[in-house]
Amino acid sequence: MKKILFLLIVPALMLSSCIEIIDDLSLNLDGSGTFKYTVNLSSSKVKVNSILALDSFNGKKVPKIEEIESKINQFRELLTLEKGIKSVQTEFNKVDFIAKITVDFSSLEDLQAGIKSVLTQLDSSIKYSEDDTAWITWDHKSLKRMIPQLVEERIKNETQSDQALLNTGSYTCISRLPKAIQNTSNSACKLNPTKTAAMLRVNTLDLKLNPSLLEHTLTLSP
């Protein structure tokens, strides 16, 4: 999985390229819902293709496109077996380098535990401790969201990026809730006219400098 993250996130950041991430969560009243995560590298496909043509890049082996596809499939199969995960769909556009995952889950705890479990199964070097902060918390009255720890670490560790062009990348966080949103803790967060959905978009350079930009709590109307 690290290889996939390496391919999908690191080169895009490091090579002064543009990355688009969409983190989309739809929640039902009982806490179940659908999670969609999309990584779009199509505006950097020349660079990604160039890297894929190499055997190694910055001292690390570059995976073949088939290996990436196989890892994505493995991720889907393992996640399907996790507790509380109802269905998992993946899609990988290898021409434009867009990867999508859609997961139906029973609860946010099951979703996050499932993802952590699969990531550690796929790559034993990824370690999660019991007290790792959840990146989504829900108490039926409010929803708190932040950047996933693994993505944050990847972005933070990147030092060689061309900051001016990194500025063109974006991380979009969308939350769809079963009731109207009364207020949001982050003024950059946009609500739709019916106030049942919120969208927060942050550019990747700002996110690298300040990961808390993505943090927000949405409080529902009573």
Partner 1 sequence: MDMKKLVFLWLLGWQTYLWSQGAEQLIPSQAVTVFSINNTDLLQKISIDEWITYDFMEEIHQELFDKSTENKTVKDAGLDFDQRLSLFYGKTPYYEVTGFTFGIKDKNALFKVFDDFENMPSPYEGVNIYQSLFNNLLIEKNKGLLIRVEPVEVFLNQQTDSLWYSRGNLSPFYAMDEDQFMDEEELVVEDAQKNLLEKNYYELRDSLQFEFQKKYYHDVLNGLLKQRKSLYSNDSVFRELLTHPSAGVFYMDNSRNIDRAKNLWYLKTVLPTLYLDVQELYDGNIITGDLILQESSVQFNLNARYSEALGSIYNEMNHAKFDPNIAPYIRSNQPAYFTYNINLRSAYEKAYDVLVPILSKAKDPEISFNLLLLKLGNALVNKDAVFDAYKGSLFMTFNGIQKVKTRKITFFYDEQTFEYGEKETEAEEDMPIFTLGFTTKRNDLPEMVLEHFSQVTSKFENKGDYWVYNKAIFDAAPVFLINTKGMFILTNDQDLAENHRDGYGKEALSKRMLKTLKKSGTMAGFANLQQVAQKFPSDFLDPSQQQLMEFLRNKTGSVTLKSGETTTHSTSVTLNYSFNDTEKSGKHFLDLLNTLYLLTK
Among 7, 136, 147, 174, binds partner 1 (CB under 8 A): 174
Give whichever of 174 and 214 is closer to partner 1, judged by the CB atom. 174
Among 30, 77, 91, 96, binds partner 1 (CB under 8 A): 96
Q: Which residues contact 206 (CB under 8 A, 6 or more apart)?
A: 167, 213
Give, as ranges, the residues between 33 and 72 that touch partner 1 (CB under 8 A): 38, 40, 42-47, 49-51, 53-57, 59
Minimum Å distance from CB 133 to partner 1? 25
Q: Which of 209, 203, 210, 195 is nearest to 218 (CA)?
A: 195
Tokens of 128: 């999660």
Among 65, 113, 134, 197, binds partner 1 (CB under 8 A): 197
Which range, of 62-70, 76-84, 89-97, 129-137, touches partner 1 by CB under 8 A? 89-97
Minimum Å distance from CB 3 to partner 1? 14
Q: CA-based Rg of the chain, rounded to a whole angstrom?
A: 17
Among 89, 192, 210, 221, binds partner 1 (CB under 8 A): 192
Q: Which of 36, 47, 46, 53 is nearest to 10 (CA)?
A: 47
Minimum Å distance from CB 7 to partner 1? 14
Which range, of 15-23, 68-76, 111-119, 207-215, touches partner 1 by CB under 8 A? 15-23
- The answer to whether residue 125 forms part of the interface with partner 1 (CB under 8 A) is no
CA atoms within 13 A on the CB side of 13: 27
Give whichever of 106 and 203 is closer to partner 1, judged by the CB atom. 203
Tokens of 206: 């700002």
Contact residues for partner 1, defined by CB under 8 A: 14-15, 20, 22, 24, 38, 40, 42-47, 49-51, 53-57, 59, 93, 95-96, 98, 124, 172, 174, 176, 192-194, 197-199
